Every structure is written in C-alpha cells, then in structure tokens.
C-alpha cells in the first residue's frame, strides 16, 4: 500500500474498500461542485458505486498499472488523486484528481500532484507524465502550470460532459525536465522506491 505524508495535516494513502462510505459521502456533499467538470457524478448514486470504483483501482494496482489515493486532511477524506493505467510500452501515465470544495485553494492538490509526479519518475521509472484538464477549468489547469508542465496543445471535444463536449488542455512533463524543475524548486522525491517493474 502506498502512503506518504504531505505535511502535518495532509497525507496520501491507497484507497481501500472500507473507505467507500466516507468517499461516497464526500462525493454526495460536493455533487454540484464536482459536476461542473467531472462526467461521472450522475452514475455515482450509492456507496456501492464507490465500492466498485475502489475495487477497480485495487485491481489496477495489483496489475502493476499504478494506484489511486485518498487525500486525507486530519484523517478525513477530502479528495482523490491517482494514475490512470500506466502505459508501460511508452513509459507514460496520466494523473487525474478532484478535491472537495472546502479544501480548494490551499495548495493541497499541487503538493499531492508534485509527489505523484516524482514517484512516477523515480519510483516507476517512467519518462512522461500527462495532466489533461478541461480548457475552462482554471483551477485544475493551474496545477500543472505551477509544477512547470508544458502545455502541448488542445484536444478538441475530448470529453462528453453530460450534454456537451469540452476541449482538454494537455499538459506534459518529461523526466529530464522534472529533474531541472525540481533542482530549482528544492523538492526531494520520496526516499522509498519499489523494485523496477517489468512491462
């Protein structure tokens, strides 16, 4: 199980099935906030839907395709951040995330993503990390921009959001760029590293 502390109040750990009820309550109480940019809210209507999501993330982790973490503030779930399945043939992965409304604007997600980017490069040995974000979602786009990602272009009609398509801005970071970025930023990646996975 992956677990890291961001600071005295915030930590990341792999989602587990017993999180389903709390995770669903966070989603349910933030439904209007999350629905602006996430396409799955209408399909998430009971704690069983959160169970199914968590089980899918655990299967992904067992298959050595990356993992998904609960973001915990003072021990309570406030959001989720994780990897889409790793594309081992290309040594690349995407990071996606969401945060409860009350926790937005505090720098939490930027720090969580910083840690997962470093882990993708130094833990998994990947070469490329992508972060897609809806063009109009300024808060989500600000995270890769703060982390020094390069905006590579716009993917037109990338996602169906309930009743309309949205374009995605595609940000990416290469391992060689991250080394330089972090030398300037003074950040040290997690010390513990897994054994090198085989594609």
Model pLDDT for residues 94-130, shown as the tens digit of each residue: 999 999 999 999 999 999 999 999 999 999 999 999 9
Report the CATH superfamily, name and number, of domain 3-185.
Gcn5-related N-acetyltransferase (GNAT) (3.40.630.30)
73: enclosing H helix or E strand = strand 68-73
Angstrom distances, CA of residue 125 to CA of 43, 69, 110, 174: 35, 19, 21, 11
Angstrom distances, CA of residue 118 to CA of 77, 130, 179, 194: 23, 13, 9, 13
User: What is the percent of the chain where pLDDT is above 90?
Assistant: 89
When pLDDT is cut at 50, 70 and 90, the band that residue 53 belongs to is very high
Radius of gyration from C-alpha coordinates of the chain: 16
Mean pLDDT along residues 14-24:
98
Model pLDDT for residues 126-180, shown as the tens digit of each residue: 999 999 999 999 999 999 999 999 999 999 999 999 999 999 999 999 999 998 6
| Predicted structure pTM score | 0.89
> Can you tell me the distance from the alpha carbon of 75 to that of 9, in angstroms, rounded to the nearest whole number?
8
Kindly tell me if the per-residue pLDDT of 194 is higher than 60: no
Give domain limits for the chain: 3-185
């Amino acid at each position: 199980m992956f677990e890291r502390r961001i600071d005295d109040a915030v930590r990341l750990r792999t989602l587990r099935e017993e999180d389903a009820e709390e995770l669903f309550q966070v989603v349910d109480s933030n439904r209007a906030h999350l629905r602006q940019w996430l396409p799955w809210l209408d399909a998430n209507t009971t704690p069983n839907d959160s169970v199914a999501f968590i089980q899918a993330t655990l299967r992904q982790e067992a298959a050595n395709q990356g993992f998904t973490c609960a973001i915990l503030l003072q021990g309570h779930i406030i959001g989720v951040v994780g990897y889409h399945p790793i594309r081992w043939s290309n040594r690349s992965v995407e990071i996606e995330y969401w945060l409860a409304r009350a926790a937005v604007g505090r720098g939490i997600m930027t720090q969580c993503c910083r840690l997962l980017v470093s882990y993708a490069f130094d833990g998994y040995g990947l070469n490329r990390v992508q972060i897609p974000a809806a063009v109009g979602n300024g808060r989500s786009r600000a995270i890769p921009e703060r982390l020094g990602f390069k905006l590579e272009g716009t993917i037109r009609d990338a996602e169906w959001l309930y009743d309309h398509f949205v374009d995605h801005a595609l940000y990416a970071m290469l391992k060689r760029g991250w080394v330089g970025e972090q030398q300037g930023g003074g950040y040290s990646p997690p010390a513990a590293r897994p054994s090198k996975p085989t594609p």
